[in-house]
A and B are shown apart, each in its own frame.
Chain A
Amino acid sequence: MTSVSELCDLCGKISDLRLSASDMFDFYFDLPLWFRLVLQGTIVILVLFPLAAACSMAERKISAWIQGRPGPNRTIPPFLAWIPGINIIRNLGLFQLAADGGKFTFKEDPVPGNVNKFYFILAPILSMIPALSTIAFVPFGAYFKTLADGTRELTPIILANTDLGLLAVFAVSSLGVYSLILAGWASNSKYPFLGGVRASAQLISYELSMTLSILPVFLWVNAPGGEGTLSLFNVVQTQSQPGFLGGMWYIFLMPLSAFIFLTALFAETNRQPFDMPESESDLVGGFHTEYGAFKWSLFFVAEYAHMIVGSGIFCLLFLGGWNPLPWVTLADTANLLGIAGIPLLMGLLGITLFLGKVGFFIFFFMWVRWTLPRFRYDQVMNLGWKKLLPLSIANLIFYAIAIAVKDLYFPNL
């Protein structure tokens, strides 16, 4: 008899466990903080890593379309071929992507003789660290959090919401150069070595103009007497104000900054026309000449992850982040659609808008890659030091004066 009563008890408990959304939220927020953070970080990496891998397929497809080819479109596992409509996935090359992933994982991973083994293996691992950890400081979207007193507060969806946002991104991503240098040096071979030397020179050169070009944005964001912050969320917030200037995206307000930042971003992510460390036409494969299989693919996942984070930062700084249009904010849109009160839907809307913009920029990166020829090494250095750096300093001085004049004489504009 006891077993029957136990069973009834259990049934009652199960019926209590109706999986309503609020219960799930409660369950989630009752978890210990560290566990939630680990879970969030893991999820973000689990999204970012395949996304970066998928970029390689996007690159092959876009290069194919630009060259008048259809690109990889034939691979399909035979046991899936009966599913109607699966040819769309086949034509997009997604099975090819999976096959490539499998190949990279399982093929023989040679370590050439005469390499410095420790650093040779360390380099691709090191390339993943900045690539995957910078995402922690990038907000993807926002939602209304209902506070205890009933008011709503716009809250960013971000792993680490610090004051230092952008500075932290720059700091961590600046460590990415070591993987290239180490790979080039440890390979103990001439072409990788040249690639490593070029990488170290190029990445440091363009870091300067990159940092200087975004200073006007923060001069504008941090009005006198304000908080004083480098948070990317705040940058988006200041692009979501009412009024003509308030709702304006910074790409219209500071086109030169955006241009310099974008150019430097191309150089920092080693994309054509600035892929000096790799330049396969003159250096075989540059820093990764001696690499193969999984280690090689790690370098590329890292490059694409850098591209994703870089595009994300560009969108946040200059394209209004998750706001759908200039002068139209996410909050307005959510109110219009009537989902402002549902954090899940509003968050998803923000993330979708943000990822859409990032996707466009990744497309832009690839579009430029298959359009422009590579710069010569001395041209890269000339452009970096003699053109972009003075230009970004002039830009900074101009905006410093302009913002000072605006604050002094037109404070209400």
Chain B
Amino acid sequence: MATITVERKPLSFLERTYIPNVVAGLTTTFKRMIKPTETLQYPEQRPAIPTGYRGVPTLVNDPNGREKCVSCQLCEFVCPPKAIRITPGEIANDDPNAHVEKRPKAFEIDMLRCIYCGLCQEVCPEEAIFLQNQYSMTGYTRAEMVNDKARLYELGGTLPDQHYKWDKKKSAAEAASHGGHH
């Protein structure tokens, strides 16, 4: 058997009086007492959020101010707790963003249901939904805890884009209308 018997040293006289150990303990706690505290004063001081943090899901615009979401509803279908409700909407032809495929008429995420799993972000083909730094959602009613479209864009803001998909589509569409052939 791999049992190791550890020889216990008999305590010296001083150790048996407890006094040096008590003094050592008191020194430790006193040092701790004069150090600054570790506590974060929460509402005034905020913790540093690490990159890759999965906070509240939000919708983002591209740098040109277009909505990236095209209301494909993939996130709605993948969402495990069924927290997302999307009502797809058309874009009128006279809209400046008419070249964009579609956009949601309404987009609601129920934060009482959301489990912050990040599947919506993963599944989104348009990179339109992101779980960002916001970690604290509070409200006095259930209705307040449902983020509607305006709130989602407000939380999300604008994120840098690499593709500028709709710029390409637009220039392609304009070239086609000028050139006269597809």
Given a CB threshold of 8 Å, the question of whether A touches B is answered with yes
Q: How many A-B residue pairs have CB under 8 A?
A: 34
Q: Secondary structure of the B side of the interface?
A: helix
B95 is an interface residue with CB less than 8 A from chain A: no
Taken together as a complex, chains A and B put the C-alpha atoms of A67 and B31 apart, in Å, by 11
Q: Once the chains bind, are B29 and A68 in contact (CB under 8 Å)? A: no
Residue from A68, A70, A372 in contact with B25 in the complex, judged by beta carbons closer than 8 Å:
A372
B2 within 8 A of A: no
A367 contact from B30, B35, B39, B41, Cβ within 8 A:
B30
Complex: A64 Cα to B36 Cα, angstroms: 11
Question: A370 touches which one: B29, B38, B41 (CB < 8 A)?
Answer: B29
B37: Cβ under 8 A from any A Cβ: yes
Asked whether, in the complex, the Cβ of B26 is within 8 Å of the Cβ of A68, the reply is no
Residues on A with C-beta less than 8 A from B78 are: none
Interface string of A381-409 (1 = CB under 8 A from B): 00000000000000000000000000000
Determine if A368 is an interface residue (Cβ-Cβ < 8 Å).
yes
Q: How far apart are the CA atoms of A368 and B22 in the complex, in Å?
A: 9
Q: Name the A residues within 8 Å of B26 (CB-CB).
A: 367-368, 371
**Smallest CB separation, A396 vs chain B (Å):** 19
A170 interfacial by beta-carbon distance below 8 Å = no
Min CB distance A381 to B, Å, is 16
B interface residue numbers (CB < 8 A to A): 22, 25-26, 28-30, 32-33, 35, 37-39, 41
Whether the pair A66, B37 counts as a contact (CB closer than 8 A) is: no
Q: Which residues of A contact B28 (CB under 8 A)?
A: 371
Query: Is residue A252 within 8 Å, beta carbon to beta carbon, of the partner chain?
Result: no
Alpha-carbon distance A69/B39, docked complex (angstroms): 5
Contact B30–A68 (Cβ < 8 Å): no
Contact in complex: B29, A367 (CB < 8 Å): yes
Distance between A75 CB and nearest chain B CB, rounded to angstroms: 14
A387 CB to closest chain B CB, in angstroms?
9
Inter-chain pairs besides A65-B33, A367-B33, A368-B22, 9 sampled, C-beta below 8 Å = A62-B33, A65-B32, A66-B29, A68-B35, A68-B39, A367-B29, A371-B25, A372-B22, A372-B25
